[in-house]
């Protein structure tokens, strides 16, 4: 096997990995590094997802990197996001650092050598390679790209039509003139339905329970005004980010402090598209706002399709599949030529890679997380896991600064290993699941909570999901605090 060594290995060339590479290059210019990517090109989610209409469900002024102004619409297509990432790679000469079709088959750390050893399979050639590094930066995302989540419905094999999961959209999908049933109620449904409604005979959306949405124009009026008065794009980007983050902070606060008022405002926004006579039970969730992610619906396109009679909402539960469609628990049967299962995805904990430390397998469910990015008993590694209530990339930038500061601090101290440890004063603190389900409870997390690290009672031992606190706290972390052990 060929053997390569780097100071830092970044895993994944999606939005997190490209951002990490940028920060490492600019803040730790003396470090050698490579980005390992299993796909044939950069982009991660935006490369893999090819279903009709695929787009962001949060604004690109905060989903874009802080260091590169976003010039397009607030809600962007996958193609626009890939073009933006390509510019980042080209402008910062990152392409030479990215190794594509390199799949990690194992990752092992040794406290004797203070090195990570990664075994790699070259997917294009079948070659086996070994990489070593001093520090591992996990940016591989949080769900399995190869397959989406499909419930084990009774009678699924009885159905004679075609079943498509958006995550693995086939190139030969033909929906023209067909009765299409979309099962699901989240952001993917809100994206797919308006994109296909025009070509189908009719689209029926079947949801077990409703979801909150925010409809609005796909422009940022503040940005348009600033451009009109010829403000520099770098300033516009920064001002827009600050304004959007301020608004999001207020929205999140209100979801806890005045949930009923906020709920009515959200429903009023949807009702404006559907009219006063529409049965709003289809868009009235049983939970308070923000216990699950809320998707922005640009120009209300989902609701426009419903109002125009091209799409119909049905709120019910599946009893079983039939030869021609789905039988509901209410006794009604929904006939369909094609069924699209927009039912979510499967969580992937650190890429489903087998990890070991000093020869012992790592079960991340037995570890405690330090701020949702490091884990007790696992040295020289950071995992980028973003925000549910704010744009993922905000945490990419925050952790980019943190990792680079940590690496430079280790060089200054002349040490080769760092790992988070629970101080003696906190050893007896209560441990709980990774995320409080009363705080945030989407299905993919609830199904996989047993695989994730534990959280402690104190904020530093949690992934708080609170960007507005972390933007102050993470830059102020005392790297010589009792939570860090160096060697």
- State how far the Cα of 244 lies from the Cα of 95, in Å rounded to an integer: 31
pLDDT band at 166; cut points 50, 70, 90: very high
Calculate the CA dihedral of residues 404, 408, 413, 416 and round it to 10 degrees: 60
Mean pLDDT of 241-245: 94
- Lowest mean pLDDT across 215-229, 313-327, 344-358: 344-358
Q: For residue 1, what pLDDT is reported?
A: 60
Contact 188, 205 (CB under 8 A): no
DSSP string, 163-228: EE-GGG--TT---TT-EEEEE--SHHHHHHHHHHTTTSSEEEEEESS---EEEE-SS-HHHHHHHH
- State how far the Cα of 438 lies from the Cα of 452, in Å rounded to an integer: 17
Phi/psi at 241 (nearest 5 deg)? -60, -45
Q: For residue 122, what pLDDT is reported?
A: 96
439 pLDDT more than 90: no
146 pLDDT more than 80: no
Phi/psi at 484 (nearest 5 deg)? -115, 130
Q: For residue 441, what pLDDT is reported?
A: 66
How many CA atoms are closer than 13 Å to the CA of 269, on its beta-carbon side? Answer: 18
Mean pLDDT of 200-228: 94
Instruction: Report the run of H or E that residue 391 belongs to, with start and end.
Output: none
pLDDT band at 342; cut points 50, 70, 90: very high
pLDDT band at 54; cut points 50, 70, 90: very high
299 pLDDT more than 70: yes
> Could you say which DSSP state residue 415 is in?
-
Q: For residue 390, what pLDDT is reported?
A: 85
Q: For residue 142, what pLDDT is reported?
A: 79
234 pLDDT more than 80: yes
**What does the mean pLDDT of the chain come to?**
93
Q: For residue 443, what pLDDT is reported?
A: 72
Q: For residue 267, what pLDDT is reported?
A: 95
Report percent pLDDT > 70 for the chain: 99
- Residue 11 tokens, joined: 């895993």
Bridge-based pairing state of the strands 338-341 and 162-164 = parallel
- Lowest mean pLDDT across 257-261, 282-286, 344-348, 389-393: 344-348
444 pLDDT more than 80: no
């Amino acid at each position: 096997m060929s053997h390569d060594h780097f100071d830092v290995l970044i895993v994944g060339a999606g939005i997190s990995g490209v951002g990490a590479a940028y920060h490492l290059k600019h803040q730790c210019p003396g470090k050698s590094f490579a980005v390992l990517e299993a796909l044939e090109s950069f982009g991660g989610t935006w490369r893999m997802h090819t279903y009709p209409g695929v787009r962001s469900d949060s604004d690109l002024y905060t989903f874009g990197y802080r260091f590169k102004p976003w010039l397009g619409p607030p809600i962007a297509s996958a193609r626009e996001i890939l073009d933006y990432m390509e510019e980042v790679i080209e402008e910062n000469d990152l392409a030479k650092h990215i190794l594509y079709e390199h799949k990690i088959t194992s990752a092992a750390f040794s406290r004797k050598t203070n090195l990570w050893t990664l075994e790699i399979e070259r997917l294009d050639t079948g070659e086996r390679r070994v990489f070593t590094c001093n520090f591992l930066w996990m940016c591989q995302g949080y769900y399995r790209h190869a397959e989406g989540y499909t419930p084990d419905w009774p009678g699924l094999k009885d159905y004679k039509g075609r079943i498509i999961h958006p995550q693995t959209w086939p190139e030969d999908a033909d929906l023209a003139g067909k009765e299409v049933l979309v099962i699901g109620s989240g952001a993917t449904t809100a994206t797919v339905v308006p994109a296909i409604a025009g070509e189908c005979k009719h689209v029926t959306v079947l949801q077990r329970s409703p979801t909150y949405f925010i409809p609005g124009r796909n422009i940022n009026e503040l940005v348009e005004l600033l451009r009109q008065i010829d403000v520099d794009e770098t300033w516009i980007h920064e001002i827009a980010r600050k304004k959007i983050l301020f608004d999001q902070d207020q929205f999140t606060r209100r979801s806890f402090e005045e949930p009923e008022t906020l709920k009515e405002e959200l429903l009023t926004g949807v009702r404006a598209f559907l009219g006063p006579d529409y049965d709003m039970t289809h868009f009235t969730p049983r939970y308070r706002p923000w216990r699950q992610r809320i998707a922005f619906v640009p120009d209300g396109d989902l609701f426009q399709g419903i109002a125009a009679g091209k799409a119909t909402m049905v709120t019910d539960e599946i009893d079983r599949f039939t030869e021609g469609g789905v039988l509901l628990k209410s006794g009604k049967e929904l006939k369909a030529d094609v069924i699209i299962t927009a039912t979510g995805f499967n969580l992937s904990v650190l890429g489903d890679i087998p990890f070991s430390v000093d020869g012992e397998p790592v079960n991340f469910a037995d570890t405690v997380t330090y701020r949702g990015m490091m884990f007790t008993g696992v040295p020289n590694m950071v995992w980028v896991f973003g925000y549910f209530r704010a744009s993922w990339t905000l945490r990419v930038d925050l952790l980019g600064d943190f990792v680079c500061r940590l690496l430079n601090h280790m060089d200054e101290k002349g040490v080769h290993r760092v790992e988070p440890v629970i101080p003696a004063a906190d050893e007896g603190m209560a441990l709980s699941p990774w995320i409080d389900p009363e705080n945030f409870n989407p299905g993919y997390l609830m199904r996989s909570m047993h695989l994730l690290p534990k959280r402690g009672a104190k904020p530093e031992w949690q992934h708080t999901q609170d960007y507005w606190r972390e933007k102050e706290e993470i830059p102020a972390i005392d790297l010589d605090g009792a939570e860090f052990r160096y060697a």
